Copies of this chain bind each other. A is one copy, B any other.
Amino acid sequence: MSDTETPWLSADEQHSWRAFVLGNTLLVNRLDEELRRAHGISLPEYEILVRLSETPDRVMRMAQLADAVCHSRSRVTHTIGRLEKSGIVRRETCLEDGRGVQARLTTEGMALLERAAHTHVLGVRTHLVDLATVEEFATVGKVMNAVTDALIGAYPEAEIR
């Protein structure tokens, strides 16, 4: 972080990096727009609903949810607040831990998610997966997995925590 020389990207690397940034922006915008248009929920909201739907009882602790989707706790509090107001999710106090709060996917929420999933999966296929070969997409997954491994739990140097 304190080198004096800047390790510039090669021309090829830079092209790939720019394609990555741009493609990503377009992709996320598009998936978000499709969900909003068809079902009235945003992509971040959708991701929360997916996590909830994958647990046995469709219930999760707030912090668990925050970690899973990689949002701040505060953000999850606000988001769940909105989803609760729409009847998609219900807040429950946690029995084992007096401080804890659980978010539970309601029946209506589950129904919404099932409809939204169709739109979402179709979008992911059309705008990404089907544009690459199986091998190419596997490579993308491998690289992004490496990114995750390198970054997860790795905080900037200054702050030890």
Contact = CB atoms under 8 A, between A and B. Distances in A.
Nearest to A8: B121
A147 B128 contact: yes
A45 interface: no
Category for how many chain A residues contact B: 35 or more
Interface centre among A8, A126, A140 (most CB of B within 10 A): A140
Copies of this chain, complex-wide, total 2
Give the interface SS of chain A, mostly helix, strand, loop or mixed.
Answer: helix
A84 interface: no
A142 B148 contact: no
B30 A151 contact: yes
A134 B91 CA distance: 48
Nearest to A147: B23
Contact of A37 (B13, B142, B158): B158
A97 interface: no
Interface of A: 1, 3, 6-9, 12-13, 15-17, 19-27, 29-30, 33-34, 37, 47, 70, 117-119, 121-122, 124-129, 131-132, 134, 136-148, 150-152, 156, 158
